[in-house]
């Protein structure tokens, strides 16, 4: 059970604090109103994040913040937002919650950031959720599919971003039912909130008895032979994967060695084909991953306008780093923050930034608009299906939306790239 902590009430003003407040107002009038807002000056807006640049999650996710920085460099080259340059402070937490607490406190108390943007990981970000909300720091676009970030009553400053694992699991379950009717569906998942919540999502689509076998793994154990053997023995024809990319490759490779060839369907956290090629190799990956199904909520189809824009930004500002799903994710997060900052006004405050998101006017660049409102901080509630064919991962045009316990098909609504790809009011 998660402990709920409400924001701390403001202390009553005394004569001394009233005097200090008056002095602060006088100084603000002399130096510009934006100086009263943490992280905002006349020339800059400073935001921060915690990321696994080292540690067990680095191989899969360390490139995200570099992609976000590259997009901000692109925006800054166009003049920034309302004339301010975006400064992005990235702190390495090694995917360790204790480290996350330390670096996030540094961001808030020493670096004086305007907001924390795209902090990565369920266990890591959970460790700072109360702290950020108690200090009224906008906590935007948490990089995790946990449903914990959508609790605006308890955590009014926190906003999710990813399609959560219920959405992704429901989309994969419904696609399995639509395209593989009557086949035995099973699941291999990480033994934590990620795997469990994805399972719940699949069961939303297929019913509680719709998953014939469910195996879990520990991230500390690089051997899934027993789990794959159990799934093979259960006669699984479709295997949904609640895995990170490294364990997706491990599962597929282990199954191939055992002569087990189900249809694989992965959550977005473990379904990025370019990353999987890095694990499996350029010769094996196209063979082992032919027909590989995954879910995504961002525009990652080859040849699309967003991929063209982000590829150009990647080439110019990211030292030609490999272009993959992390690139699209990191730059899409950057785009959404710029959209929110532009709508927060010429002299943004933390309150106006939250209000901009809750207005519903910030839509992002996904397959469907973000679902933000005063009562909904979840992020994306729609996800599309991608399939690998001859070494190319692309959308197949099937998009699912989860509304409560109901899964429906819908049409993608990807916004067009306008101008230089820098959103304005």
Tell me the per-residue pLDDT of 69-86, one tens digit each, with 9 for 90 and over: 999 999 999 999 999 999
Summary mean pLDDT of the chain = 90
> Is 407 domain-assigned?
no
> Is 126 domain-assigned?
yes
Tokens of 241: 């994967």
| Shared-domain flag, residues 22 and 157 | yes
Q: Mean pLDDT across the stretch 237-242? A: 98
What CATH number has the domain bearing residue 158? Answer: 3.40.50.2300
Higher pLDDT, 46 or 193: 46
> Is 425 domain-assigned?
no
Lowest mean pLDDT among 109-113, 296-300, 347-351: 296-300
> Is 385 domain-assigned?
no
| Shared-domain flag, residues 94 and 116 | yes
| Shared-domain flag, residues 288 and 228 | yes
- Angstrom distance (rounded) from CA 353 to CA 275: 34
pLDDT tens readout for residues 279-293 = 999 999 999 999 999
Structural domain containing residue 116: 15-163+302-380
| Shared-domain flag, residues 175 and 254 | yes
> Is 387 domain-assigned?
no
- Angstrom distance (rounded) from CA 355 to CA 156: 11
Q: Mean pLDDT across the stretch 102-114? A: 98
Q: Full-prediction pTM beyond 0.75?
A: yes
Q: Mean pLDDT across the stretch 204-226? A: 95
Residue 26 has pLDDT above 80, yes or no: no
For position 35, what pLDDT does the model report? 53
Q: How many domains does the chain have?
A: 2
For position 127, what pLDDT does the model report? 97
Q: Provide long-range contacts, Cβ within 8 A and 24+ apart, for 253-261.
A: 253/280, 253/284, 253/288, 254/224, 254/225, 254/228, 255/228, 256/288, 258/225, 258/228, 258/229, 258/232, 260/228, 260/231, 260/232
For position 30, what pLDDT does the model report? 39
> Is 408 domain-assigned?
no
For position 300, what pLDDT does the model report? 83
Tokens of 9: 């009430």
Q: Mean pLDDT across the stretch 129-155? A: 96
């Amino acid at each position: 059970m998660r402990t709920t902590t409400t924001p701390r009430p403001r202390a009553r003003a005394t004569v001394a604090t009233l005097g200090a407040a008056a002095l602060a107002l006088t100084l603000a009038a002399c130096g510009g109103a934006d100086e009263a807002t943490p992280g905002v000056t006349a020339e800059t807006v400073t935001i921060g994040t915690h990321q696994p640049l080292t540690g067990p999650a680095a191989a899969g996710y360390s490139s995200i913040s570099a992609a976000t920085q590259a997009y901000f460099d692109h925006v800054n080259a166009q003049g920034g937002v309302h004339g301010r340059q975006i400064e992005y402070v990235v702190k390495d937490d090694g995917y360790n919650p204790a480290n996350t607490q330390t670096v996030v406190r540094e961001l808030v108390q020493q670096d004086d950031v305007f907001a924390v943007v795209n902090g990565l990981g369920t266990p890591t970000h959970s460790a700072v959720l109360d702290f950020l909300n108690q200090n009224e720091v906008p906590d935007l676009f948490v990089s995790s599919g946990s449903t914990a970030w959508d609790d605006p009553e308890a955590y009014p400053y926190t906003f999710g971003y990813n399609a959560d694992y219920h959405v992704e699991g429901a989309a994969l379950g419904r696609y399995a039912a639509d395209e593989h009717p009557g086949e035995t569906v099973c699941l291999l998942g990480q033994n934590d909130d990620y795997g469990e919540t994805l399972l719940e999502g699949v069961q939303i689509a297929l019913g509680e008895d719709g998953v014939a076998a469910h195996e879990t793994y520990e991230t500390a154990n690089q051997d899934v032979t027993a789990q794959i053997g159990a799934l093979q023995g259960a006669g699984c024809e479709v295997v949904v994967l609640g895995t990170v990319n490294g364990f997706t490759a491990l599962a597929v490779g282990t199954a191939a060695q055992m002569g087990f060839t189900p249809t694989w369907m992965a959550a977005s956290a473990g379904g990025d084909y370019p990353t999987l090629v890095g694990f499996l190799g350029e010769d094996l990956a196209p063979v082992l991953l032919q027909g590989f199904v995954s879910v995504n909520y961002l525009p990652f189809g080859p040849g699309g306008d967003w991929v063209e824009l982000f590829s150009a930004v990647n080439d110019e500002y990211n030292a030609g780093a490999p272009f993959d799903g992390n690139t699209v994710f990191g730059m899409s997060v950057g785009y959404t923050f710029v959209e929110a900052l532009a709508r927060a006004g010429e002299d943004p405050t933390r309150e106006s930034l939250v209000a901009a998101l809750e207005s519903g006017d910030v839509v992002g660049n996904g397959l469907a608009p973000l679902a933000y409102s005063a009562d909904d901080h979840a992020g994306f509630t729609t996800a599309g299906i991608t399939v690998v064919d001859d070494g190319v991962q692309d959308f197949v045009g099937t998009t699912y939306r989860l509304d409560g316990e109901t899964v429906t098909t819908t049409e993608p609504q990807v916004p067009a790239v306008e101008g230089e790809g820098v959103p304005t009011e």
